[in-house]
Amino acid sequence: MKNIRHLTKAEIEALMKEWDEPKFRAQQIWEWLWQKFASSIDDMSNLSKKLRERLKEEYHIPKVKVDHSQFSSDGTIKNRLKLHDGHYIESVLIPTEKRITVCVSSQVGCSLACKFCATGFLPRERNVDFDEIVDEVVLANEQAMEHYGRGLTNIVFMGMGEPLLNYKHVLESINMITSPDGLGMSPRRITVSTAGIAKMIRKLGDDQVRFKLALSLHAADDVKRDEIMAINETNNLAELEDALNYFYTMTKNEITFEYILFSNFNDSYADADNLVKIYRRVPADLVNIIEYNPIQQADFSKPDEDRTDAFMRYLESKKVNARLRRSRGKDIDAACGQLANIDHKEKQGA
């Protein structure tokens, strides 16, 4: 059985022509797949029974399903999602007064092994297909409507996996999410976060994408970044700066730096000064300073409030547009760096 959602519109049109079906049938099927998000071919009620039966002989619609949801005291919802082949990924729905954001996963596990991230301790099993990523968004939108009475406003590719190592499917999912034939969402509401793969950042520029880009920086010198992020050994800061400048030249899209503060590692004035230097060499709009969220596999801790405040004041004194991002969903292991397909209660009982 083939996944019918992996057919392009042109391929569906060609199939209908081959089967001597009217051309408008292709548009009907497309709408069922990408606007009504049918769960099965049987749902396509305006198709003839004969056509539905013929489609079912060759095609199916493997859908992502919510396996388990956890609800944080701050309103955040973490979903463990089951894929058609039995693998699991996680997404996080984050409501605020002004927006509702979903954090989606692009890989089952991750191959980058960043030392502060729970996902990095999981093996990378496979990439998440573009239709599965779209399912993550659709499910989150339904959940947002159910629990908060309003739909999604923003999407961030900051869940499990490295999006730029699943380049084709990530871009195809964004094309479908932003297409008038799909969800019709603005690309300016989408941010793709990368640990830093210079070649692929340049490719984003060549492809003139319209979404925002975030770099998970976390250390502003190569020695420290090598220590916590193995990807830096082959994609050092000079290469990343060059790639980000190229990306901006080609797209004029917003760039954000993500910087987790680790106690007595990257939180000194010298570290802040290195961050200022990078900020000035790249046309970044914002530096998100992120609270560290503990995981069992790592010994890092977050700085105390005074040290964090001092770091922020230093950046502000240097005219850096910096924002301290308070973690959401910490009580259910839904915060940045905590996604590992483990129920919080299961973890507590381990």
Among candidate residues 110, 114, 117, 336, the one labeled active-site is 336
Which sign, positive or negative, has the C-alpha torsion 163, 141, 338, 255? positive
Helices 269-281, 305-317: inter-axial angle, 10-degree rounding? 40
Round to whole Å and give the CA distance between 168 and 261: 32
* Rounded Cα distance, 218 and 52, in Å: 52
Catalytic residue of the set 21, 90, 132, 136: 90
Taken as a whole, the chain contains a residue count of 350
Is residue 90 annotated as part of the catalytic site, yes or no? yes
Rounded Cα gap, residues 236 and 78, in angstroms:
33
175 with 9: CB under 8 angstroms? no
Full 3-state SS string of 186-221: CHHHEEEEECCCHHHHHHHHHCCCCCEEEEECCCCC
Instruction: Specify whether 103 is catalytic.
Output: no
CB 216 within 8 A of CB 208: no
**Rounded to whole angstroms, how far apart are CA atoms 41 and 52?**
6
DSSP label at 340? Answer: S
Which amino acids are annotated catalytic? 90, 336
